[in-house]
Amino acid sequence: MSKFEEEFFSGADFRAIYSDISKAIADLRQHSGLSLEEAAQRIGMQPDKLEAIERGQRIRSTVPLVHIVETLGGRLTIIPTDNPGVVHIEFMTPQSKT
């Protein structure tokens, strides 16, 4: 991991982004009508790990957040910008897809 990545992923901006994505994942799972166990099985991770992500806890997982969101029917796009440490995030739920 580069020095930039270390600083970005440990910074306040990333924590805020991660918190928003975590809440969106919980909302998306509940909207889909899946239990924690059902969603975790579809995603390919342990239910306790998914629950930790939904609560905003950072965990060591080989399952990327984008995969979790897409498995639950949403879409997450993280786009780097020209400004170091700044990203643009687009999050779409099943209702907002066209």
| pLDDT tens figures, 49-87 | 999 999 988 877 767 887 888 888 888 776 666 765 555
Kindly state the tokens that stand for 87. Answer: 């990203």
How far is Cα 65 from Cα 39, in angstroms, rounded to an integer?
Answer: 13
How far is Cα 18 from Cα 54, in angstroms, rounded to an integer?
Answer: 10
Residue 58 sits in a domain whose CATH number is 1.10.260.40
Predicted structure pTM score = 0.69
Total number of domains in the chain: 1
Domain interval for residue 46: 3-96
